Amino acid sequence: LIQLVRFAYRMVDSLYPLTATAAQRFELWCGQAQRPLSEEQKELFRTIATYVAQNGGCDFDRLRAVVPELVLELRKFYSAKDAANQALFSLNEFILKAA
């Protein structure tokens, strides 16, 4: 939907599926985070990045309502909801930035 609006207002010249670029943007996000991520964390955030690309974003509460198993995984790495949301918002912004 974001891309359709931008295309309609001639902000972008072409339409393309965001899911096709999500993997590339995810890798850039991991590198830009400048903190070591375990393979388990990378796999979790890779799954969340796919969800963001397909659904237009997420936060802790939305994930809890829609994909509760991802929240269980997030809780392994973040003890506070605010800390998890900070990481999720950063990922959302990076994946959707140029959508």
Residue 12 scores a pLDDT above 70: no
Residue 55 scores a pLDDT above 90: no
How far apart (Å, rounded) are the C-alpha atoms in residues 57 and 49? Answer: 9
Confidence (pTM): 0.81
- Residue 68 vs residue 6, higher pLDDT: 68
Residue 4 scores a pLDDT above 80: no
How far apart (Å, rounded) are the C-alpha atoms in residues 20 and 81? Answer: 29
The pLDDT tens digits of the residues spanning 16-39 come to 677 778 888 898 999 886 778 899
Q: How many CB atoms lie within 10 A of CB 13?
A: 7
- Residue 96 vs residue 34, higher pLDDT: 96
How far apart (Å, rounded) are the C-alpha atoms in residues 19 and 1? Answer: 13
Query: Any idea what DSSP says for residue 97?
Result: T
Query: Any idea what DSSP says for residue 78?
Result: -
Q: What tokens were used for 7? A: 């295309």
pLDDT at 10: 79
